[in-house]
Structure 1
Amino acid sequence: MQFDTPVLLYGAGREALSTRAFLKARQPNLKVFVTVDSGTADIPETEQIDAAELPAAIKAHRFGLIVKSPGVSRYKPVFDLARDAGIAVTSNLNLWGAAYRHNRTVIAITGTKGKSTTATLVHLMVTRSGIDAGLAGNVGLAPLEIADKHPVIIFELSSYQTADMNFLPDLAALTNLYAEHVDWHGSVDRYYADKLNLIDRDGVFAVALGQAARGNALVAKAVRDHRRLLPDLAPETSALIEKAVAHSRLRGAHNLDNALLAAQITLGIGGTLDGIIQGIAAFRPLPHRLEEHLFGGMTVVNDSISTTPEATKAALAAYPGRRIALVAGGYERQQDYTELSELLAQRGVTTLVTLPVTGDRLARATAMVAPDIVVHKAPHLEAAIALLADLQARFDTIILSPGAPSYNQFKNFEERGTRFVALCRKHFAPDA
């Protein structure tokens, strides 16, 4: 693969760094530019072009290819300008496909929720089956970082990545499909189409569906030919997996579904039942995904990755019999909290503390349908945890499962989750 003209990196995160290293290794003298929407770009051996100057740079053909980072929406008008000028727009993932796809088995896993856990489980199960496999995408390495290190590559992919993925996997998996990331995609319908682009395409590849995806009419249409679907697990196999999950660190019915899907994928590429059971036993919860702590006798659950009401429902269902204080709310993406508010009381929530902006709607809906739940609005996370410290006789478990993104108050969900744990440690185990 050769590049005849300079390249522009749009975005300056992990993928952009790995793209720069890839280009440097291929063509050390290649001119590389970088653009970010805010701040400065710390990418070695690049020249920065301000976002406001991009239209002029495109018109002048200062570069012949744009490599877009996942967090940059492909629907930005500037990319239409580039395509109209004959400048291609691609991604780290698609560069990997062009350079390394040949002679590799590719498993691509996506879904609104559960894709990281499922991909991690598949990697554990496959490697413990004796298969040399690597994990990349949103977990593990960036695609170009993993390069050609393994004959089997497991990609965990966001809708940002599936939207313009231009090569076929050998096996595509979808955990579930709910409305999410509407700001990036521009509409719910476009989000669904971009997510389903992983399976809604011509070509020969297998498809595996999570339990929540199987009854979805949009998913069924995207599968096209149902002969693509992997065979269901045998009842005795499912029973063994359920038993293994019950003795593992996988909490909740949704994680049992993730394990069953991962097992189906693993068997589909030649893994073993022993490898599956060993992989389940080896699983450790990913950071900010039902991450448990015990502070002064109080169970604290960091589920900051929860950015949809469906994810919050799953988090609450994972703690039956508990008296729960729920901290929820965040960035506005027009989430519908009606069904969640109706479930809170039956899921053991005694206390609800909401955060701006979406928390206001959840607070109002909960007050209407569940008057026994104590509801408070807090201006920020610090105030929320301080308030809970004065109410702790009402609950034995605190769960941060916002059901919304973090961008209005935090850089990302990781920062939000880390701050939550630190605040809970301060208020509930000050001497720890």
Structure 2
Amino acid sequence: MKNLVVLGGGESGVGTAILGKQKGFNVFVSDKGAIADKYKKVLLHHNIDFEENQHTESKIFAADLVMKSPGIPDKVALIQELVSKQIKVVSEIEFTSEYTNATIVGITGSNGKTTTTMLVHYVLRKAGLDVGVGGNIGDSFAKQVAEKSFENYVLELSSFQLDGIENFNSHIAIITNITPDHLDRYEYNFDKYIDSKFRIVKNQTENDFLIYDADDEAIQNWLSNNKIKSKLVPFSMEKELEYGAFLRGDKIIMKLKTEDILMNVSELTLQGKHNTKNAMAASLAARLLKTRKETIAESLSDFEGVEHRLENVQKINGVQYINDSKATNVNAAFYALECMDNPTVWIVGGVDKGNDYSDLMPLVREKVKAIVCLGLDNQKIIDTFGSVVDVLVETAGAEEAVKVAHKISKKGDTVLLSPACASFDLFDSYEDRGNKFKQAVKNL
């Protein structure tokens, strides 16, 4: 019996443990921190051996195979030592892909991947396909393959998950865009981060497809310097294409075997330039999987959106409160500010991943009337925007931030939580941050 060691007792770790046990491995889960009660219950239910708040090296080095959770960097000593002992270390998606023949749509990118993943899943489900959704959202890919085994999967894939693949392949790969993010994991080298995203095409053949943003400079540069086997399916908002999806006036055109008018941009439930791009990417994926264009258009016009992504919370005294807690980098905050039509009180801040806020300057000058900082260290925000906005206030919690925003906003304004940073200084996660913001708005 082979030994499978799972590092990390979160969603992907526990899913892998369940699948590993089902496939006949002797499984041991080890987490350096505490394991959440809901996951402990699952491990106990499946009689899976685990430890928390420590790594017992003798047990870990007895592994034939190690699955490490995406949150553990490659450069930590334990991983380096496993590699030097020639013990294979893989990611959850790599481990799981051995056990399914399903058609996979894999979606990566710095921003828009959750929305695009949910959109593709929604369209395919409406078209009657047997389809699961996973990766960074919902149940882990591993758990689904163990318990449900769909014919198709739509997976949201972070660069960390792609770093750990050898043979994993997406029949349809989507790269939404690439902007500097998580550079702390890539030695502050943007090229390494770009290469990491493009691992999604590593195992593609000429029967597979890559859907990508043809307006994105980083993607275009990489493609012009590297040969790939799969068929290129671009989308653009700036130019008409020979093949792919583009805008003609305010209509979305899809040109694959034939040229079709898909729908008018105004009919999309999700507004904003970036959402038009997400819709194009999702449409192309669905069309390549033989979905009727009527079904695609109908789905895009009644899709509800993603929690914590430009989510309308409530209107109070004529002020609209918007929760965009999922904006954990500058580019995501850029999209949010770009969508604002009213004078905006912007709640920003948290753990900075090497952010350069200068890209936001024109939007802040044009749209932001006041800034409310929500983080422990706000110096960079203050240095960048202090002289640009009339009011800048520091706060140390969602409730305080909302109360201050409420005070300085007036009828016709928008209060936007779009932090451009990770949440771990004051919150458990971006979801926790978004939920506390929503609760604070309801308490006003």
Q: What TM-score range do you get, normalising by the shorter chain?
A: 0.7 to 0.9
TM-score, with length taken from structure 1: 0.87
| 1:279 equivalent in alignment to 2:327 | no
In the alignment, which of 337, 340, 343 is matched to residue 319 of structure 1?
Answer: 340
CA contact (8 A) 1:295 1:425 kept: no
> In structure 1, what is the equivalent of residue 125 of structure 2?
127
| 1:367 equivalent in alignment to 2:386 | yes
> In structure 1, what is the equivalent of residue 151 of structure 2?
151
CA contact (8 A) 2:13 2:69 kept: yes
> In structure 2, what is the equivalent of residue 430 of structure 1?
none
Higher strand share: 2
| 1:300 equivalent in alignment to 2:305 | no
Which amino acid is 2:6 matched to?
A: L
In 1, Cα distance between equivalents of 2:134 and 2:173? 15
Question: Which secondary structure does the structure 2 equivalent of 1:178 belong to?
Answer: coil
In 1, Cα distance between equivalents of 2:406 and 2:204? 56
How has the CA–CA distance of structure 1 residues 162 and 252 changed in structure 2, closer, same or farther, with 3 Å as cutoff? same
Shift of 1:228: 2.1
How far does the alpha carbon of each residue in 1:41-80 deviate from its partner, in whole angstroms, 9 at most, with x for none?
Answer: 623234445676444445xx43222111222223322112
How far does the alpha carbon of each residue in 1:100-126 deviate from its partner, in whole angstroms, 9 at most, with x for none?
Answer: 1x3x32211110110111111112222
> In structure 2, what is the equivalent of residue 89 of structure 1?
89
How has the CA–CA distance of structure 1 residues 279 and 420 changed in structure 2, closer, same or farther, with 3 Å as cutoff? same
CA contact (8 A) 1:180 1:188 kept: no
> In structure 2, what is the equivalent of residue 34 of structure 1?
29
| 1:390 equivalent in alignment to 2:407 | yes
CA contact (8 A) 2:32 2:55 kept: no
> In structure 2, what is the equivalent of residue 289 of structure 1?
309
Deviates more, 1:136-145 or 1:248-257: 136-145
How has the CA–CA distance of structure 1 residues 182 and 214 changed in structure 2, closer, same or farther, with 3 Å as cutoff? closer
In 2, Cα distance between equivalents of 1:134 and 1:85? 36
Name segments (4+ residues, structure 1) moved above 6 Å: none
In 2, Cα distance between equivalents of 1:324 and 1:235? 29
Q: Which runs of 5+ in 2 are unaligned?
A: 234-242, 254-260
Deviates more, 1:187-196 or 1:42-51: 42-51
TM-score, with length taken from structure 2: 0.85
CA contact (8 A) 1:342 1:366 kept: no
Which amino acid is 2:32 matched to?
A: D
How far does the alpha carbon of each residue in 1:329-363 deviate from its partner, in whole angstroms, 9 at most, with x for none?
Answer: 110211001121332121x2111111235632122
Deviates more, 1:373-382 or 1:274-283: 373-382
Residue pairs, 1:7-26, within 5 angstroms: 7-26=4-23
In the alignment, which of 274, 288, 312 is matched to residue 268 of structure 1?
Answer: 288
> In structure 1, what is the equivalent of residue 239 of structure 2?
none
In 1, Cα distance between equivalents of 2:225 and 2:313? 41
Residue pairs, 1:16-415, within 5 angstroms: 16-27=13-24, 30-40=25-35, 42=40, 43-44=43-44, 45-49=47-51, 53-58=55-60, 61-100=61-100, 102=101, 104-147=102-145, 149-166=149-166, 167-189=168-190, 190-200=192-202, 203-204=205-206, 205-213=208-216, 216-221=219-224, 224-225=227-228, 228-230=231-233, 231-233=243-245, 238=252, 240-241=261-262, 243=264, 245-296=265-316, 297-320=318-341, 322-346=342-366, 348-357=367-376, 359-368=378-387, 370-371=388-389, 373-393=390-410, 396-415=413-432
In 1, Cα distance between equivalents of 2:169 and 2:197? 14
CA contact (8 A) 2:327 2:419 kept: yes
How has the CA–CA distance of structure 1 residues 97 and 334 changed in structure 2, closer, same or farther, with 3 Å as cutoff? same
CA contact (8 A) 1:8 1:66 kept: yes
* Count of residues paired in the alignment: 413
In 1, Cα distance between equivalents of 2:199 and 2:292? 30
In 1, Cα distance between equivalents of 2:63 and 2:218? 46
In 2, Cα distance between equivalents of 1:135 and 1:344? 36
Which amino acid is 2:193 matched to?
A: Y
Shift of 1:151: 2.3
Q: Which runs of 5+ in 1 are unaligned?
A: 428-432
How has the CA–CA distance of structure 1 residues 24 and 141 changed in structure 2, closer, same or farther, with 3 Å as cutoff? same
In 1, Cα distance between equivalents of 2:306 and 2:141? 20
In 2, Cα distance between equivalents of 1:336 and 1:317? 17
CA contact (8 A) 1:332 1:357 kept: no
How has the CA–CA distance of structure 1 residues 393 and 19 changed in structure 2, closer, same or farther, with 3 Å as cutoff? same
In 2, Cα distance between equivalents of 1:223 and 1:260? 24
